[in-house]
Amino acid sequence: MPNDVILNTYELPPGVRLDHFLTEQLGEEFSRSRIQKLIESGAVKADGLPLVKSSLQVKEPRIIQVQLPEEPPPAKLEPRDLKFPILFQDNSLAVIHKPPGITVHPGIGTGDDTLVHGLLAAFKQLAPGFAADRPGIVHRLDRETEGVMVIAKNARAHAKLSAQFQERTVKKIYSAIVWGELRAPEKRVSGTIRRHPKERRKMFFEEFPALTEESQMTEEDLLYMIPENARSAALRYKVIAERSSFSWLEIELETGRTHQIRATFAALGNPVAGDSMYGDERRLAKRFNTGKRKLAALHECKMALAAIQLGFTHPETDKPVSFRIDLPERFHKFWEGLKSKAD
C-alpha cells in the first residue's frame, strides 16, 4: 500500500446503492460525482476485486475496502500577477483570455502560478467557487488550451453561470488545427466519453453508430444504452481550410466534457496538432509524410486548440452577451509555414 493512500473498511448493507452508501460514509468533502469516479477507478474492492459499478446493490452484507488518496496540503493562495488580457468586467463577472500553458486552479503538482493566483491579483472580489482553492472559477480549460473564460465575482453570478453550463445553454466555439483531412467537411459527432481504461490521465471517446431509417433508432434511444461509467458527448465541426496534411477546424461544443475535443478527434484519427497526450507525433509524421522542419514549427506552435468564443446570458441583466478573441498568432505562423513543400 503506497504511503499516500488511506485504506477504509466498511460493511455495505443490502439493498443500498454503492455510491449512495459511500457518499453518506465519507462526508460532505466527497461529492457524489467524486465518489463515482473513485468507484470507476477501481479504488473500491471486495475480496480483493474492484467494484466498478456505482449502482451496485448487494443481497447480503459485504465487507468493502476503499482506497482514498491522501489529500495534499492546500496550496497557499497568494496573488500573483500573470498578465492575462481582461476582455470585459463589471460588478458581477469578468471575461478573460486565458493564456496557454497555465493550469486553471491548484491541484496535485501545481505551484503558485495557476490562473486562480492571477485572478486574486487582478480582481478585488471573486465568488467563493466550488472549492476553497477555486475562487471565481465557473468552468475550466486544459492547461495548454488558451481562450475565453468567464469568471464570477459574487455567489449569485457564480450560481447562475454554473446553471447555464450545466443546462448547456452556453455557446462555446473553438478553433483547432488537426492532423489529416476529415472524412466530411462538416459534421455533428456524438457518442460516449469515459476515463481511458488503461491510461488514467486520458479520456476515451467512442462514436455512436450511424443511425438509419431502417434501424428505427434515435439518438435518444442510444443515450439509454450509455454505460454507467460513461457520459454522452457531442460537438459539431466545420473544416475552414486544408493544407499539407493538416485541417483547420471551427468546433462548437454541445457538451463540455473533460478533454472532449482532444479525445474525439483522436478517436476519429485526426488528433489535435501538438497534442502529445493524444497523438503519437512520430507515427503521425510518418503517416502524413511530415518532415522535420514542419515538426519543428509545430513544436513552436504547441497544442493548436483555442476557445475563441463564449456566449451566455448575463446573470444580472438577463441579456445575451458574447465574447470572441482573434485567432492566436501562433496558429497563423504555423499554418503559413505549411505552404512550403520543403521539409
Residue whose C-alpha is closest to residue 48's, from 7, 3, 2 = 7
The structure's pTM equals 0.77
CATH superfamily of 5-69: RNA-binding S4 domain (3.10.290.10)
Whether 121 contacts 79, CB under 8 Å = yes
pLDDT tier, 1 (very low <50, low <70, confident <90, very high otherwise) = very low
**What is the per-residue pLDDT for 16?**
85
Q: What residue ranges of the chain are covered by domains with CATH 3.10.290.10?
A: 5-69
All three cell numbers of 140: 475550466
Strands 62-69 and 5-12: antiparallel
Residue whose C-alpha is closest to residue 178's, from 243, 101, 232 = 243
pLDDT 10s digits, 74-115? 556 889 999 899 999 999 999 999 999 999 988 766 778 899
Name residue 223's amino acid.
L
Higher confidence at residue 268 or residue 213?
268
Question: Any idea which residues carry the catalytic annotation?
Answer: 142
Domain 174-337 CATH assignment equals 3.30.2320.30: no
Angle, vertex CA 295, rays to CA 291 and CA 301, nearest 5: 150
Q: What residue ranges of the chain are covered by domains with CATH 3.30.2350.10?
A: 86-167, 174-337
Mean pLDDT of all residues in 140-163: 95
Given a cut of 50, is residue 2 above it in pLDDT? no
**What is the per-residue pLDDT for 86?**
97
Give the CA count within 13 Å in the CB-facing half-sphere of 78.
5
Mean pLDDT of the chain: 88
Domain 86-167 CATH assignment equals 3.30.2350.10: yes
Given a cut of 70, is residue 313 above it in pLDDT? yes
pLDDT 10s digits, 176-202? 999 999 999 999 999 999 888 777 788
